[in-house]
Amino acid sequence: MASNTRSKTDSDRKLRIQELTETAALLELEGPSRSDYIRQKLDEWEKREFELALEKEKLQLEHERLKNEHELAMERERQATERAKIAQENQTARTVADSQPASPASSQGSSNSSPSIPFEPFDEKSESVEVYLTRFEEVARYYSLPKDRWCFRLAQCLRGKAYEAYTKLPSYQREDFEALKEALLVQFELTSDSYHKKFRGSRLERKETYVNLCDRLDKYLGKWLALSKMPETFEGLRNLILAEQLRDCLTQETRIYVNEQQVIDPSDIAIAADRYLAARRDTKTKTEDSKPQASTNRANSHQGKNNPPNHKNNQAVHPRPNTPNPANYRSSHPPPKQWCNFHKINSHDTKDCRSRGKPTHTLNSIRNPAPSDAEALVLAAVSAQSGESPHPPSVEKALVNGRAVTCLNDTGCLVEAVVRESLVSPSDYIEETTQIQTVDLESPPKTLPMALINVESKYVRGRIKAIVMKSPAYDLILGCRYVFLGTPPYPSVSAPVLTRSQVQVEGSDSLKVNTIPTEIREAQKQDPSLQKYLRLAQEGEPTLGKAQFFFKTGLLYRRGKEPDACNQLVVPKPYREQVMQTGHASSLSAHQGQNSTLNRIRFHYFWPGMTENIKRYVASCPQCQKLSPKNRIPPVPMGKTPLIETPFKRVSVDILGPLPRTKKRNAYILCVICQASRWPEAAPLSSIDSKHVAEALFNMFSRIGFPEEILTDNGSQFTGKLMKEVYALFNAKHLRSSVYHPQANGLVERFNHTLVTMLKRLIDDKPKEWDTYLPAALFAYREVPHASLGYSPYQIIFGSHPRGPLEILKQTWTKDQLNDEVKTVSKYVKDLQERLQDIRSLARSNLIKARKRQEKYYNRRAKERSLNVGDKVLLLLPKNTNKLQICWQGPFEVLKKVSPTNYVIKVGRKEKSYHVNLLKHYLERPSQTDPPRDLMAIAVAEDVKEPKDLVEYPLHAVETHENVTISPQLDAEQTAEVKSMLGEFHDVLSDKPGRTSLERFSMKLLSAEPIKVKAYPLPHAKAEVIKQEVEELLKAGIIAPSVSPYNAPVVLVRKPDGGHRMCIDFRRLNAVAEFQAEPLPDPATIFANLSHARYFSKFDLSRGYYQIEVEPECRPC
């Protein structure tokens, strides 16, 4: 009860702190002031709670005192009545005895007709049977009731379950009080075991002293000893404790069997347990002997002839018998007399092993069948807990120096390889040697030679190092250096079914950590992209100012031109993916950015085009794309929304909350705002289900009129079946914003923020009365001019200012009287209509200006983005575990384009419309299961920013002098004169590029060596753009076919409208061109020369570069 009270107090305190925190937030208290406010209010609350608890405790104590006094008085009165009744009965009995002569018969008769003894009936709900029996015995002894009548009187007092125990007794035991007493205790599960558990598990109870606990333990111990039928002697107590401990050591099944035998002596318990185990062991042996021997032979066949005997394998493979606890039974085949579990040999016993207790537990050694010629080595230390392998050794055929041999693939061998001495020629030996410890740990390590051998096996192909031995167990032993990632040759124990993910894993390029230098060397020679660097390394001539390529240990390296450059291994194409994965996606690389990954890899490796490869690899990393910051993707430009001119034609609806629940049980606000007049409506709600929302909307629309369009979010209270019927009843079109894009309903979202701010300042320290101040907040919002419209919502709806508190105060001070001018109804209505029309017209123009200003501000960092059907995209959504955290999820597929900014995305099994600001392109890597193929690329300058007012002119005439705009202020004669002049100079009044003869372009080169730059490969989608542009230039005579030794690549620059502009990359040519240092004109001099001019003309050259010819000598065709 104390723990419950404490938990309730803690929960009340947490609830109070939460309420004070909400109140402080509504009061806009921050920092120390907020903490002081919460602390002060919490202290006051705790003080009040303490006083109330103290007063309650006093009242409870007084109530208990009065109750105890009343019970004590009642008990005294009952005892006095009982004593008086007993004294009267005794007096009556003595009087009868004195008046009659004493005789045995009469004495017997008086005894049989015992006086009325107050035995109360037994009630198992109010007291326990043991307490009732104790009280019954005390009363019977006090009244000197003969013991042969105890059973009869006790049976009269029994009820229910207790009387059933009496009726179940045999007739000869119904007069035995001890038998009846034992039956009652058994019926209520008060056996020796129950008293034993009570004695062991008793603890100090509430309102109990240790003296009471000691008496209770003494009673439990006495009952335990009495019911266990042990003699009350020291030897009996000793046997009781021994029997208890022995029962605890038995298994559950054995304990059940022993209890069924009803034995209490420790020796009898032990004999019964051994009898139970012996019977089960005999059953198990017969079951094992009845199994066929084929399974035993199969189990033994797994043991190699060179392996030490394993007694575990001598058992037949068969299902275990259905025994209660098979783990307690031993095998019927005992192990050999001598067997070492550390070395797995039978030369000595485990307890005599010298290696016992040392850190290295089990030694796995390579042994020879002939003990005399064996040269066993300790090649690997394997944990003893792993046990023997269930599979046979991995042995296969291999080639060593062209000779067929038997090879053991040992994943536990820590050395690279071991080869038989007869397979190694003298020229294969190297100067390197190695030391290996033998099985006998007391002997010194042996020094063995090493050799380079040619191996062709399942795991290794090439020249490797190997330790040379005279007589190993196999001709060739390959260690974990080569077979660590290998597949064992024995059949797999898993089901032979491959899932799609397993197929992808098998088809993917795994990390080839066991690659040897010979494989890298061969891959370098076969890679076509490295042939140029191999030739440079073979020439061996260092180039000043350029990178140097050279061979080191047969591998191709590169050293940069920097003074502190390091040796970079040139990576062939098959291994580049592994390098990039290790340098970016491994746990020690931590998915850093493009520059960090490039710098990390460039410090060790090099290959042509590695910068672009690494950038594309990092850009297409799934983890990096999903965890990239959401503000990296610029928003699209602000869309155009329709301007609503008729009030309440379209309304925006939203729900605000939850807020602190008020006395009227309100916790939400239904907000409605008109998109034309910005007139707000708000209604407090106790619940936001469709029924309450529909009722509130009906009440609002009955005052302001029913709209034609209702804009809401995707909440279930707006999209349910009930609301669909309501929209049909209103004959209103339901518009919904896209998922997780509240900007589409931004007008009501902004009103929600304003309304919450006003309510915070109104309610002050009364957060649960916000619904009382809601009408006042709405009046304040309607009275003030809107920032976008320039007029208040009240003016746009009613055509006049409302009479508010300021006007009332002004009239009170100035005693101004209302205008007494009387107008007719028609004139008033006409004036009101004109006033409303003027106000709404001005408000509309103000709204257009405000919208342009907002678009200009918003679109400063916006960028046009579009998606195509079938594209893979990532979607910015809240996490499933935490709705307040959003992250990129996906990828998902684009199914349909709903509008320029909304797309239908398939998320799981659902299809929803999302705004493009929540989407970004997902860069997919080519499937690892696809065969490798070369990809084509083109240099497209995506990040080049150009002014949007750059005019693009076509190569053919689109506009002529007929399209020139002539001022309407000229008369007919002047207009004819201007048209005549335009016709005379029509060749310069066209957007078709012309050609000038005043100047020609010339270039002087510092070197006569032709500049040749490899053309960038073009994808088919961009090749058509280049082809069309070249055809138009040829047709216009601007370019001509050429066979010049000079060439420069073509690049495409993306234009703001999504098109491309063709440009030529002349950077290499400009590097060898003579620089013409011509100064720019002085602006001050230009303006000084124009100071006396009256007319200024602006000329726009159509493709000015195309109009200047190149000198003939500069055209080496």
- Both tokens of residue 891? 């990828």
Distance (Å, rounded) from C-alpha 777 to C-alpha 1021?
A: 60
| Calpha distance 93→109 (Å, rounded) | 13
Pairwise CA distance, residues 569 & 560, whole Å: 12
In a domain, residue 236? The reply is yes
CA distance 447 to 469: 10
* Nearest residue to 378 via CA among 395, 394, 361: 361
Find out whether 1101 and 992 touch, Cβ atoms under 8 Å: no
pLDDT for the residue 657: 83
Label residue 576 exposed, middle or buried (CB < 10 Å: 0-12, 13-18, 19+).
buried
On whether both 233 and 345 belong to a single domain, the answer is no
Are 760 and 849 members of one domain?
Answer: no
Q: According to the model, what pLDDT value does residue 1062 have?
A: 81
User: Does 968 fall in a domain?
Assistant: no
CA distance 886 to 795: 42
Task: Give the CATH number of the domain where residue 1075 resides.
Answer: 3.10.10.10
Query: Per residue in 22-80, pLDDT tens?
Result: 887 777 777 777 788 888 888 888 888 888 888 888 888 888 888 888 888 887 777 77
From the list 627, 657, 714, the residue with the least C-alpha distance to 915 is: 714
Edge-to-edge strands of the sheet including 910-915?
Answer: 910-915, 902-907, 886-899, 872-878, 919-921
Q: What is the mean pLDDT of residues 794-801?
A: 85
pLDDT over 90 percentage in the chain:
6
Query: Is 494 within a domain?
Result: no
510 in any annotated domain:
no
Least confident of 180-194, 303-317, 562-576, 861-875: 303-317
How far is 860 from 863, CA to CA, in rounded Å? 9
The DSSP-derived string for 383-406 is -GGG-S-SS--EEEEEEETTEEEE
- Residue 997 CA to chain centroid, in angstroms? 71
pLDDT in tens, 1041-1051: 887 888 888 88
Query: Which pLDDT score is estimated for 392?
Result: 45
pLDDT at 495: 37
Cα 248 off chain centre by: 47
Confidence of residue 879 (pLDDT cuts 50, 70, 90): low
What percent of the chain stands above pLDDT 70?
Answer: 74
Q: Is 782 exposed, middle or buried (0-12, 13-18, 19+ CB in 10 A)?
A: buried
Report the chain's mean pLDDT, rounded to a whole number.
74
Q: Are residues 343 and 468 in the same domain?
A: yes
Tokens representing residue 252 in the block: 């559950």
User: How far is 311 from 342, CA to CA, in rounded Å?
Assistant: 14
**Where residue 540 sits, what CATH number does that domain have?**
1.10.340.70
Q: Are residues 681 and 754 in the same domain?
A: yes
Q: Cβ(796)–Cβ(843) under 8 Å? A: yes
Q: Which residue is associated with the tokens 């807990």?
A: 385
For residue 299, being part of any structural domain is answered with no
pLDDT (tens digit per residue) in 863-875: 788 888 888 888 8
User: Same structural domain for residues 40 and 57?
Assistant: yes
The set of residues, in sequence order, having a beta carbon less than 8 Å from that of 908 and lying 6+ positions away, is none
At 151 the three-state DSSP class reads helix
Which phi and psi (to 5°) does residue 444 adopt? Answer: -70, 160
Mean of the pLDDT values across residues 597-614? Answer: 90
Q: Which residues of 922-960 are buried (b: 16+ CB within 10 A; e: fewer)?
A: bbeeeeeeeeeeeeeebeeeeeeeeeeeeeebebeeeee
DSSP label of 1047: B
* Residue 829 shares a structural domain with residue 891: no
What is the band of 822 on the pLDDT scale with cuts at 50, 70, 90?
low
Q: Any bridge partners for residue 552, and if so which?
A: 555
> What integer pLDDT is reported at residue 95 of this predicted model?
54
Q: How many Cβ atoms from other residues are within 10 Å of residue 483's Cβ? A: 22
* Location of structure tokens 């009170």: 812
Q: Can you tell me whether residue 877 is helix, strand or coil?
A: strand
Q: What 3-state class would DSSP assign to 872?
A: strand
User: 397: Cβ–Cβ under 8 A, 6 or more apart, which residues?
Assistant: 404, 405, 406, 407
| Distance, CA of 1046 to CA of 1068 (rounded, Å) | 11
Q: What is the pLDDT of residue 694?
A: 92
Split at pLDDT 50, 70, 90, the class of 549 is confident
Closest CA to 427 of 453, 405, 447, 403: 453
Q: Which amino acid is at 85?
A: K
Sequence letter at residue 531:
Q
Same domain membership, residue 442 and residue 351: yes
CATH of residue 887: 2.30.30
Would you say residue 288 lies in a domain?
Answer: no
The string of pLDDT tens digits covering residues 1012-1027 is 888 877 767 677 888 8
Residue pair 471/368 in contact (Cβ under 8 Å)? The answer is yes
Does the structure show a pLDDT above 70 at 397?
Answer: yes
| Residue pair 518/526 in contact by the 8 Å Cβ criterion | no
* 690-702 b/e (C-beta count within 10 Å ≥ 16 → b): bebbbebbeebbe
| Region of residue 893 (left: phi > 0; alpha: psi -120 to 50; beta: else) | beta
Q: 1073 in helix, strand or coil?
A: strand
The residue-averaged pLDDT of 848-861 equals 79
* Paired tokens of 836: 């409303």
- Tell me if 661 sits within 8 A of 19, measured CB to CB: no
* CATH number of the domain residue 436 falls in: 2.40.70.10
Q: 861 or 329: which carries more pLDDT confidence?
A: 861
* Strands 403-409, 476-478: pairing kind: parallel
Same domain, 900 and 812: no
Instruction: Give SS3 for 1084.
Output: helix
Least confident window among 510-519, 598-607, 693-702, 777-786: 510-519
User: Average of pLDDT values for 1080-1097?
Assistant: 80
DSSP state letter for 326 = G
Residue 562 above 50 pLDDT?
A: yes
Domain shared by 386 and 256, yes or no: no
Strands 394-400, 709-712: pairing is unpaired
Write out the two tokens for 817. Answer: 């009287």
Structural domain total, the chain: 8
- How many angstroms separate the CA atoms of 50 and 910, rounded? 56
What count of residues does the chain have?
1117
Domain boundary among 801, 825, 858: 858
* pLDDT digits 0-9 by tens, 401-429: 888 899 988 877 778 889 999 899 888 88
- Position 380 scores a pLDDT of 36
Q: Can you count the helices (H) and strands (E) in the chain?
A: 33, 28
Please indicate, yes or no, whether residues 1004 and 910 belong to a single structural domain of this protein.
Answer: no
Q: Which domain holds residue 919?
A: 872-932
Highest mean pLDDT out of 74-83, 144-153, 712-721, 834-843 = 712-721
| Runs of H (alpha helix) within 546-626 | 576-584, 594-602, 610-619, 622-626
Residue with tokens 């693009």: 952
Whether the pLDDT of residue 102 is over 70: the answer is no
For the ranges 165-169, 535-539, 615-619, 706-710, the lowest mean pLDDT is seen at 165-169
pLDDT tens for 733-772 read 999 888 877 878 888 888 998 899 888 888 877 888 898 8
Q: How far from chain centre, in Å, is Cα 735? A: 34
User: Residue 223 and residue 192: Cα distance in Å, rounded?
Assistant: 7
Are residues 888 and 625 in contact, defined by beta-carbon separation less than 8 angstroms? yes
Look at residue 379 in the predicted model and tell me its pLDDT: 40
**Same domain for 573 and 719:** no
pLDDT for the residue numbered 301:
38
Determine if the peptide bond prior to 308 is cis (ω within 30°): no
Span 608-660, pLDDT tens digits: 888 888 988 888 888 888 887 766 777 888 777 788 888 899 999 999 988 99
pLDDT greater at residue 564 or residue 311: 564
User: Among 120-134, 391-405, 797-811, 876-890, which is the least confidently predicted range?
Assistant: 876-890
**Prior bond of 121 cis (ω within 30°):** no
Same domain, 473 and 560: no
- Average pLDDT over every residue of 7-26: 76
pTM: 0.40
